[in-house]
Structures are given as structure tokens and as C-alpha cells.
Chain A
Amino acid sequence: MYASGKYSSRGPALIPRMKTKHRIYYITLFSVVLLGLIATGMFQFWPHSIESAADWTLDKRSVHDAPLVHLPVSSPIPERGDLSCRMHTCFDVYRCGYNPKNKIKVYIYPLQKFVDELGVPISSTGLSREYNDLLSAISDSDFYTDDVTRACLFIPSTDVLNQNSLRIRETAQALAMLPRWDKGMNHLLFNMLPGGPPDYNTALDVPRDRALLAGGGFSTWTYRQGYDVSIPVYSPLSADVELPERQPGPRRYFILSSQTAIHREYRAELERLKEENGEALLLLDKCSNLSQGAASARKRCCKGQVYDYPHILQESSFCVVLRGARLGQAALSDVLQAGCVPVILADSYILPFSEVLDWKRASVVIPEEKLSEMYTILKNIPHRQVEEMQRQARWFWEAYFSSMKAIGLTTLQIINDRIYPYAARTYEQWNNPPVVKWSSVNSPLFLPLIPPRAPGFTAVVLTYDRVESLFRVITEISKVPSLAKLLVVWNNQNKSPPEGEKKFKCPECTAIDGLSLDQTHMVERSECINKFASVFGTMPLKVVEHRADPVLYKDDFPEKLKSFPNIGSL
């Protein structure tokens, strides 16, 4: 602005005193400047070129560029979190409004780097790979909005997945500084590793007012039913290892224990079980000769023999998932991925997504106290059920555990279902794997109702132009006492239907022509069947060998005593 002002005062005064030589020089100069300006303008308003420029800068974008926010020591701290919070008390439903699509709108706060007054960050890790994936998945979903005023749910970009990397008080202060925090109303936090030594609380210790918590490892005492969402602890192996789906069926081992951090009391119990039942059990532990690190996470050992983890999980029917210091275990995810049926021993643990998933069909939950009875309990489960559980386990992993995206979107769908319960996903939609969805039958009319005779029935007759045959049908059918109404569908555009109110008599009727015997007709109908089956993706028709007859059909019995005496006398 300043520069252009200078030009405007000088420019006009110069021109009249110019010599011809200079004139040409100036004109050339002006033209060049003009062309340059036009080119710049073009460039400026050309939408495509902007995109490419944006992409170019995006790659240079980094979490380290996040704006720094200093937290004053006196910055307010939210309250601890109210255990009595429920959707109708702590959630502002008006923000979700009436929505014809029955879909909540979710806003994600922009990334900021919070530091205390001394410049020390509130988190030792900052934005983690997983939380980045989670937020990105949400932003790519139908739930996302970048318009903060339209949002019903707010997700802070402050990563609280792992409490161990957080400074509790400062994280809480950072949350309270969010512009729409408003006592945490309609805010959703994701946490997978709550608590810390020595007590390992089962919910995130960061004070968070009324915010909803999607937590891994809730116990029945910290989980606010219908408010919080219990989520899995994501296993990094989900992304790193590919385990092909195995057909359900018996496996080499019956029970496998592969966790490395099992309390010695429980390990002793498992050893005892192994002594009693021998080869059916495989107990694995850390490999002592391997150094700590990524490689050791993929190996397990037993008596000097080394096994690949998580592949070994596919060799067992049941896999033990014991609680550690925390209730939620990433091993659960690995076990499900392997299609091994998890045997969960974690008293008071709220299973992941238990609000919608029927875990009884995919796992066995045994009280910790009954660990010693585990073998007997599992042996009593029918084989066919074990197979269904194996299939179900794998399906749960694929649909709800396999990625941060799956975990995040499932969480949002569960909250969505609470806000629009009449449009909620059904039990079948949540729990049936695709193969069952195809083969099962779920009719809205499932009640075995035997309707009364009184309302009778409506006859619908389709006709083209064979009026005689039509009249014959009508005459016959109108004799039936329970006929309530007769509807004729005139399927001929070239002719108008005969006048109504006719007496239906048809003395000159001839026999029905042999349409149905026509060969080409049959071929056509076969083609139809094939076409329909391919569209349905399966052949829905079923073959039976029976037909229904009246109870006294063809019996040697006075005809007048029969309810339906004339059947079959065609």
C-alpha cells in the first residue's frame, strides 16, 4: 500500500517532460510491467494453479510448525469428571439439532503445541502416529465438518492416547483453553492407555469436566454406561503384520498363552494347567536371549524354542488374554486378528464396544478366580460354537479393531446411535459378518401370527386382453365366501377395459390357450431365473418336497363333512 501511494504522487508529474527517446523506453517498460501484472492476476485467479501450489507447500507441513501456546500456571483446571454424567445430563443435544440424515457433525480442533511457562511441552511425544491417523480418518469421513458453529461433537487435537506421556495438570489446562470447551460439553477424548504406576487407574486421570471419554481399559467402576465408549487398545501389529484369514476349525493347540507380562501368580497357575493337560496347552514367554526392541516383540519362546508372533496365534483354538496392570490389552487385537477365540480374564473389564458388540458370540469371559478351571470350561464349548466364535472374532477385528480409522469411526457411530436412537444400526448390522448377512433371513414380519378369517382376502387379477378367460376367472373366484375385494389390473394400453358392473357369465369361454406350454416361453422364464439369481448374488429359492392339503384330503369320508370338499377335482 505504501509503495503504490508513492507511485501515484510521482507518476503523472513525470510524463509531460519526457523526451521521445525516453518515451519509447517508458512505454516498453510500462508494457512489460502491465503484461507481468496481467500474468500475475491470471495466475492469482486460476483455481487449478492454487491447488498445485497448496500441495507443494503441504509436503513441507510438519507437526513442528504447530503454533506454540503458553499455558499460564494459573490457567484454570477442569473438574475431575462427573461419574454421574449421562447423555441427558452432560451432553448438549441441541447442538446436534434436527438432522434429516441422522448424522452428527464432528469438528477437530487445529493442532497447537502447548507448553508451560518455562517452555516445557505438556506431552513427551506430542501428536502420535496413531492419533494422527485417527483424526485424519475422521476428517475424511461423513461425520466431519470444518465449521465449528455446525458441530455437535468436538475432538481436541491434543493427543491423550497414552497417559504415561502426559503431564496431567497441564494437559487438563490445555483442554480447558480450547475455545469451545464450555465445561467439556460435547467434547470427546480418545485414550487407550489410562492410569499409571502404581495404581493404574482404569480411566484417564486428566481432569476433563463433562467430556466424553473413549477409553481402552475401563472397569465397571469408571465406565459411565451410555456415556463413555469402551474402545480397544490398538495393536501396532495390525498394520505391520498380515495374517490371512483361516477357515474356522480345530487347531494344533487348544489353548495358547502368548502374553509376556503375566503376573507370576497367574503364570504359575497356567503352568499347573499345562502340567495337567499337556500338549493341548502352549505357554509362551519373552525370549531371554533376544535384546529388547521391535524384533523381540515379534518372537516368543518356550523352553528354548522360538515362535513367530503373532503367527503362532493362528495355531490355537483359544488364546488367553489376561489382564496386566491395565485391563485393556493390545494382545486382544492380535488374538482376534489371528481368528483365535479370546479367553478373557480381566474382572470388571468393560469389553471394547460392548454397547453394540455381542461378545458372547466371539469370546469366552472367565473370572480371574476361575483360571484354574479354564480348561474344563473351554472343553465344554460345542465345536460348532468354537468355529462360529473363530469366524466372529476375525470379523470383529476386521470391522472394528484393524485400524485407528475403524476404531475412531466405530466410536463415532456408537455416539451417533445414541443421539438418533430411532435410526441406530441394528444388532444384526453390528454383529453379523458379511457371509451371515447374505445367507440369513431377517424379516420385519417375524411374529407367527395366524390371522383371523374375518377380513378375508383381496384377489388381484392381471389381464391383457383375453376377456373371456378373465370373466371365467372372475365368475369362479367371486363364489368364494372369504373374498373381500376383487381387483383387475388391465395391462393393455391399446384397448380400454370392458364396462364395469357386468354380470360375469361366460358360456362361450374356450379352454385356456397353451401359452404355458410354449417352448420359447419356458426358455424365457429360465433366462429370467438366471438373471434374477445373478442380481441377487445367490439363489434365494428353496426346494421342498411337500405341499399343503386339507387335513381330510382324499380321505374316504363323507364329502359334506369336509371343510374343503372339492379340492383336487379339477
Chain B
Amino acid sequence: MQAKKRYLTLFSAGACLILLFCFGGIQVPLSRGASRRDDRSLAGYRPGARWRHFPGSLQPFSPREQDDHNEHISPRQKRDANLGVYGGKRCRMESCFDFSMCKKNGFKVYVYPQQKGEKMSESYQNILSSIEGSMFYTPDPGQACLFVLSLDTLDRDQLSPQYVHNLKVKVQSLHLWNGGKNHIIFNLYSGTWPDYTEDLGFDIGLAMLAKASISTENFRPGFDVSIPLFSKEHPRTGGERGYLKHNTIPPYRKYMLVFKGKRYLTGIGSDTRNALYHVHNSEDVVLLTTCKHGKDWQKHKDARCDKDNAEYDKYDYREMLYNSTFCLVPRGRRLGSFRFLEALQAACVPVMLSNGWELPFSEIIDWNTAAVIGDERLLLQIPSTVRSIHQDKILSLRHQTQFLWEAYFNSVEKIVLTTLEIIQDRVLQHTSRSNLMWNSLPGGLFTLPQYSTYLGDFPFYYAKLGVKPYTKFTAIVHVVSPLVSQSQPVMKLLVAVAKSQYCAQVIVLWNCDKPLPAKHRWPVTSVPVIVIEGESKVISSRFLPYDTIPTDAVLSLDEDTVLSTTEVDFAFTVWLSFPDRIVGYPARSHFWDGNKERWGYTSKWTNDYSMVLTGAAIYHKYYHYLYTTYLPASLKGMVDQMSNCEDILMNFLVSSVSKLPPIKVTQKKQYKEPMMGQSARASRWADPDHFAQRQTCMNKFASWFGTMPLVHSQMRLDPVLFKDQVSILRKKYRDIERL
């Protein structure tokens, strides 16, 4: 019993101990539990708690009836008030630009006459002559919408020899200055050591700036234009092609990231370049700096200079440039640097390290598609960032550098025209380019929104939009000889073309001096035949963008062209696959004549061709518009005067847009009726001068384009079963084989 008692006591004691432990131990979780319960009821009120949706009905943020403000000042007054308030640094088109000056004559640009004794840099001369040669130029200030100074404002660094003194007074004395309204001022350099301000040293008033190295802080969005920094040697026209000739897959080049340039030991913009050595690994990331610049560099040199300088001399800049996947573009004293354009040309994807630089043409160019926008504060992350970029992305970045370089940067003319087109887009507003027009081939300078604002009306965006061209064409027959008999080739041609299942309409362009024949003399066809009497009877009128062309495709024909319905059908089905190119029958070629140092033209049967003549060719209607508006009057005038070369000019134009050769279809070589003694047209071809003229044309055109845009092709397209040894009945285009 005693033992039992003892056990019981022990058990009780044990139980009590457990109890104690339990109480003591549980006390803590209990209290924690209690506070947790508080937390739960306060979820969303305590830091560290997850935000959760509050149940129940809450008030909406706005009453349904919003601002009723008929009492307030009239919107017109409000607009006028803006004019006074937002000037200077806060200028916008709405407040500092007079749109009414552009209403009457459209977007025309006037250049002040050059004053005697004023010195002018070559770069500025190039800018002015690019404007004067453009379609925007007007010599009449009364018609102008935009004014450009003849005073050289490019270099506003007081220490520079190019610096123009007394600009303030000179500008104020211009009688058209008008406080700078509707003026644009071009500038590459502003400010000087040590602070490099962005002030031009004279009052620009209400004028817009087209400025290099402009900072986001000073940039007035939608008003100023950021332009790239370009060197004295930058060509006026033509311009260097992009370096990329073929794709390499995988896309990596010898170096991953390179830079070679000056290092500023102290002062503005020195931080980033001083830190580059941290990232340099002398293997695939090669970032080289030199202290050797300026007169007294030895005085300021630091401990690293000698080592850096030695490393710097080991590498060749151009070798690195063309053999690197990425090129670092750090800011210099100013935000922009020459490295930027150099990298673009070299297909070396720029890695920007220039905080606060408003990138060139940022208003229209989506730079994320062609460059890596880095942050100077994150320099040390740059190598891992560029290494993380996927191969696909590198390829597309690289392609985009090439596209942008050739579309907007490779000549002074392109830079100037892009600047003007940006401003024109603002002025015309509802007929302006969309982002896609600026950022994809062939670029904004070739995509004129005055033609259409709908992307699908151009030959360039079908694939991007996932749409197809309209599956009909309009034939335009250029007629220069009178209608004398019903057996004339033009009659047969009209009948053959109109029979095509894809033909929507035939237009006869009557460029003959004789009066129009009576209606009944034209053949009867199932599609409408419209006769247009040429007003000036010039040959360029065959490329006018007639409103009566309802289709995307145009079949251009000479009056003596011989073409069967099958041939027309086949050519059109081929064109549907290549809507941005000329597709047709008569192929010609160009060549470089080394002896005469000029371009030559040949109609011989050769293994390749670079032109398809518009006597029998299909192309997109948009090229009519480009021919008429984009090409200068000088070239069109020359063509009209000679009544020759219009077909060559069209080939130049299309190839400069598409960067591709035209497409010859089928074996057919002869596309004219061989016997045509009496017609004017035939005599034109028989003329020995005719051929010589065409040689001259080639060279005139090449000099205006600044380069030879024609591209050779060794391929012609035939129907799939062409000349194959299968039954003729299985062939869809069997007539094509019966020559």
C-alpha cells in the first residue's frame, strides 16, 4: 500500500510536472497564437503581411457624373493662354510653333541666303545643301513652314576654331527671325570645358533644336530633335553600306564587348571611363583607355595610366570594332560620342552607358531593338547582362543596327531628311507614320504616309501584319502611236491581258499626239477599259499614281509588248509571293566598265540580270507614288526630255527601297513585235542614240542615289513543271512552253 501510495504520489507528481511543462511550454505558442489571430484579423494592416483583397462593398473612386464645366473658360482661350505660358525650356509644338504657316503650301523649308564673309564648316554646308536638294525646299520664304539659318551653329564650343562669334546679334538682325518661331537650329557641340553646358551661347527664342548629345533634362519632347554626332568626314550623300554581309550562326564574334578611347582623369563624364578597367578581362571583354590626350596629360596622370596606355597600344580599334558582338558606347565629356555611329555601321550592337542621353531620333526609333541601354550605375553588371542575351536576340539586334544605319544615319542627307520628316509628321499629325513604318524595312524615308496611313497599302508589311495583297491587278498600257488598224499589237495585247482571271481593269494611257480614237474602236473586253489622255504626254506620266488604279498590283505594258494571257497569269502569281519587287519578262543587266570608269548597260543574254523593264512587268502601285514624289525633278525631267530611261529609273528606285533584285519570269526573251516599221515607238528603239542615252542615264542615276542600288540575280522563276518530261496536260501554264 505504501509502495502503491508512493507510486501514486510519484505518478501524480509526474503528471503535475508534465502539466507544468505543458502550461509553461504551451504558454509561448499560445501567446504567439493569440497574436497571430490578431494578425489575421489585421491582415493588410501590418508590415510584412501579405496584401489581400478587402471584402465587402467599397465606394467607387469617381462619381459617375464627372466634371461638368460649361461654366469654365472657353477652350479656345485656354489654348491661347498656353502660348504665353509655355515658352523657352517648356516649348512644345502647341505653344511655340505656328502651324498656320504650313497650311497653305504644306511642309516647305526655307534656307536663309548665305551672307558674304561668313565662314561655314563643311558639315553645315552639307546640311544646307541636303535641304536644298530635298523635296521640302522652297526658295520663297513666303511659302515656308520651317526656316533654317545660314549661320553655322554646329559648333558652339568657344574654344573651337569653328566657333562663330556674335551669333546673338547676327540672329536678332535677321528680318524673318520672328523670335525664332518655326526655326530649326542644328547643333553638334555646345558648351566647353569644364562644365560642357548645353546652352548655345545665344538666345534661340522659340526655335527648335536639332542637337547632338542632348540630355533628357533639356530635351523638349515632341519639339526638339536629337540627332547623332557625326564627323567632318561623314559623306553628304550615298553613304557607306552596313558592314554585315552574311549571317554567322552562332552569332558570337571573337570579342564579346569592346571599347577603345580616351580616359578623362577628372571632371564631368570621367567616372564611367575611369571605372572601365574593373570589367576589362583582356580576353573577350576588352575595354581600353588611354590617358594620352591633351597637352599636359603627364601632369594629371594617375597610377594606372602607364599600364592602361601599354594595354591600349596592343589592340587595333578597327579590328576590335568589326570582330565584336557588342560595343560599349560610354559617354565622353558630352553625352554622345562618335562610337555610336561607328558601332552601328560595324553591326556591333551598341551598349549604351550614357545616363540621361536622349538617343538620336528617339521620337521615332525604338532603340531597344538595336542597342542595349545600360545604366552607368550598373557598369559592373554589364558583362553578365550582355552574356545573358539570347542568340536570337543578338541576331535581330544586329540586323536592326544595319537597317537603322542605312535608313537614317549613313549620310548627312539621311540625318537631315529624317529630322525634317519627323517634324513633318508632327505638322501633319493625322497623316503621320506609325512606329512600324519607322522601325522596320524599308524605313520611314521610303514610307510616305501621304500615300496612305494604312500599313496594308504598302508592299512592305504584308508578312508583319499577316495579310495578303489584293489578288487582282490593273494593267496600264502606254500608247504613243496612233491607232490605225485592228491588227495592231496593242489590240491583241489588250484582249490577252483583259482575259486574265486576275485582271481588274485596263487603263490605256494615251500619250500620242493624234486625237483619241472613237470608243467603239477599242476591243470589247469583260473588264473595264479606261482611257486616260496624258496631259503633258511625257513618258513619266506612265508612272503617275492614278486614282483609277483600284488594285495593289500594276501590270505595266508598252503598246508593242507581246504577252499571252497565260504569261500574264503566271507573272501575277509570282508577284503575289514577292510584292515588294518588280516581276516581269524583259531582263537587262548593268556592269562596271573598268576602262571607262563608269557604269554600263547591256541587253545581251547573260547569266544574270539586275533590271526587269517596265514594258512587261508587275509591281506594287506604291512605286508609282514613290516615283512621282520621291524622285527629284531633275531626274524625271531628264527622262521626259529624252523619252527614255524611265524603266531604268524605276528599277533603280525599287532596288534602292527593297535592296533586292527584280524577278524575271520564264524563258521568254523577246517581248516586242519584231516588225514595226512605221510606229514612233519602234523608231525610238531603232535610234542608235537610244542605247547611248541609256548608258548616260545609268551614271546620272547612280550619282544621284550616291551608290549603285541595282542588285544582280542569277535566278529566273518558271512554272513548277516547266519543260519537265511529264504530260503537257498535267501542266497548268502549258502555253508558256510553246514559244
Contacts and interface: CB of A to CB of B under 8 A. Distances in A.
B452 A382 contact: yes
A485 interface: no
Contacts of A3: 23
A131 interface: yes
Interface string B693-733: 00000000000000000010111111110110000000011
B22 A37 contact: yes
B30 interface: yes
6 shortest interchain CB distances as A-B pairs: A439-B466, A385-B454, A444-B396, A451-B246, A128-B61, A136-B53
A471 interface: no
Contacts of A66: 44-45
A563 B12 contact: no
A59 interface: yes
Interface in A105-155: 108-112, 125-133, 135-136, 138-139, 144, 146-148
A553 B718 contact: yes
Contacts of A293: 64
A439 B402 CA distance: 26
Contact of B723 (A261, A554, A564): A554
Interface string A56-67: 011111110111
A220 B435 contact: no
B247 A127 contact: no
B44 A61 contact: yes
A18 B62 CA distance: 75
Contact of B399 (A440, A444, A568): A444
B54 A427 contact: no
B664 interface: yes
Contacts of B58: 63, 126-129, 132
Contact of A225 (B216, B441, B465): B216
A294 B63 CA distance: 9
Interface string B393-413: 101100100110000000000
Interface in A215-244: 220-221, 225-226, 233-234, 236
Given A7-B19, A546-B720, 11 more contacts: A4-B23, A44-B33, A57-B40, A220-B94, A361-B455, A365-B429, A424-B368, A447-B441, A449-B245, A551-B609, A552-B607
B66 interface: yes
A541 interface: no
Contact of B720 (A27, A44, A547): A547
Contact of A44 (B26, B245, B433): B26
Interface string B667-682: 1010000000000000
Interface in A145-167: 146-148, 157, 159, 161-162, 165
Nearest to B86: A221
Contacts of A364: 430
Interface string A385-418: 1001000000000000000000000000000010
Nearest to A92: B377
A297 B606 CA distance: 75
Contact of A200 (B67, B68, B385, B714): B67
B588 to A, nearest CB: 12
A86 B627 CA distance: 44
A11 to B, nearest CB: 5
B716 A427 contact: no
A568 to B, nearest CB: 7
Contacts of A464: none
A378 to B, nearest CB: 9
A57 B605 contact: no
24 contacts: A27-B12, A30-B12, A44-B29, A98-B384, A131-B61, A179-B47, A198-B72, A220-B94, A221-B90, A265-B74, A358-B434, A358-B435, A358-B436, A365-B429, A388-B454, A435-B466, A436-B466, A441-B466, A444-B399, A446-B399, A449-B244, A550-B714, A551-B716, A553-B667
A86 B69 contact: no
A67 B45 contact: yes
A192 interface: yes
Contacts of B484: none
Contact of B30 (A44, A89, A452, A455): A44
Contact of A84 (B217, B466, B664): B217
A562 interface: yes
A546 B665 contact: yes
Contacts of B386: 422
Interface stretch (B147-155, B309-317, B500-508, B570-578): B570-578
Contacts of B99: 367, 369
A88 B377 CA distance: 8
A474 interface: no
A545 B569 CA distance: 11
A61 B46 CA distance: 13
Interface residues of B, number: 143
Contacts of B402: 447
Contact of A563 (B60, B86, B434, B714): B714
Contacts of A347: 79, 82, 94
B281 interface: no
Contacts of A421: 368, 372-373
B66 A61 contact: no
A546 B719 contact: yes
Nearest to A549: B718
B45 A37 contact: no
B27 to A, nearest CB: 6
B464 interface: yes
A384 B429 CA distance: 20
B169 interface: no
B439 interface: yes
Contacts of B536: none
A434 to B, nearest CB: 11
A384 B465 CA distance: 12
A278 to B, nearest CB: 23
A382 B454 contact: yes
Contacts of A263: 69-70, 72, 74-75
Nearest to B402: A447
A502 interface: no
A557 interface: yes
Interface string A465-482: 000000000000000000
A551 B607 contact: yes
A67 B53 CA distance: 17
B239 interface: no
Interface stretch (A324-332, A514-522, A528-536): A324-332
Interface string B20-51: 10111011011001000100111111111111
